[in-house]
Amino acid sequence: MKLIRFYFLILCLGFLATNYLVFANEAKPVSKAQVDSFLSFVKDNLNNNWQPPNGVTNITAQIFLDNNAAIVDKKFTNKNNSKPALEAVQKAIEATKFPKLDVNETDKIILTLNFNANMSSHGDGKESLSCKVEIRQLTKVMTKSKK
């Protein structure tokens, strides 16, 4: 009889813990205004920190941030294979302080940044930077990456 009570107690505690974790991980809604403010801040800072070199820059960067806005991973696609352009983008990202976005502890923030420029040796040219943000639950990202 004591053994049955013990297993029943373990079963109840497991159920309570599972329900607590489910409720603790419910997504906090992030408003469009918060995301717009975040992106505006990031874009302004990156534009201030980015000094495109002479030639063509066509780089896409994916920046993975944790819920405290710390960089946990970076991936770059250097479409024109320009080492100076890649170094300029990396320096701009390293010099940028990313603001905290109010998300859950299990959320991962994924920034996709497109750096494009065509600079002449005379110091003139065109440059543009576009930003997109995606917020995913870390567990879902990990599940997708394991498949």
| Predicted local confidence at residue 125, as pLDDT | 75
**Between 26 and 43, the higher pLDDT residue:** 43
| Predicted local confidence at residue 103, as pLDDT | 84
CB atoms within 10 A of CB 70: 10
pLDDT tens, position by position, 60-75? 999 999 888 899 999 9
What share of the chain has pLDDT > 90, as a percent?
34
| pLDDT > 50? residue 15 | no
**3-state SS, residue 48:** helix
pLDDT tens, position by position, 86-137? 999 999 999 998 998 888 877 888 999 999 998 877 666 787 877 777 777 6
Average pLDDT of the residues in 34-63: 91
CB 49 within 8 A of CB 127: no
